[in-house]
Amino acid sequence: MNRNGVSPAVPHIFPFKHQTKAEIPAELQSIYVERDGAWMLDVEGAVDKAKLEEFRATNVAVMKERDELKQRFEGIDPDEVRKLAEEKRRLEEAQQLKAGEVEKVIEARVRSVKSDLDKHLAGLTSTVVRPRALRERIRATAEELAKRYAVAEG
């Protein structure tokens, strides 16, 4: 045995995972633990090779998607796009009002408010929220929407 207590006949590279305890040399059984029906090398921070490869593949895919989106939207300022869309909506609304199409303007505003409320409601129902917190979020959302549409009318 060497100074680490391992026989020179024992390989220096230890498999991370064995299916059965019988596959593990007797002198190494103390450094393996049973997890999920297999015998794993008891090493802090080590992960199964399959999990690591899955993580790497996912990471590569996410980075590729990010790079494609960055390239696709390069030079586009989201805040400026929102401002332009709002300005377009206001101009179209003004044109409809001049043409006497008040009902169309009201219908569009109601659809917009309903859509915003549906989005907020979906966000609220997708998480577990205490009743008090839910009431506060609904009140804050209603106040924010009231302000937004009050400004749009003025």
Residue positions counted in the chain: 154
Location of structure tokens 């305890």: 21
- Give me the pLDDT at residue 83, please: 95
pLDDT averaged over 10-residue windows placed end to end, the chain, 154 residues: 55 80 89 89 82 93 95 92 92 91 88 86 66 79 76 57
- Give me the pLDDT at residue 141, please: 84
- The structure's pTM equals 0.43
- Give me the pLDDT at residue 68, please: 95
- Give me the pLDDT at residue 105, please: 87
The residues, any chain, with a CB within 8 Å of residue 42's CB and separated by 6 or more, are 31, 32, 33
- Give me the pLDDT at residue 7, please: 57
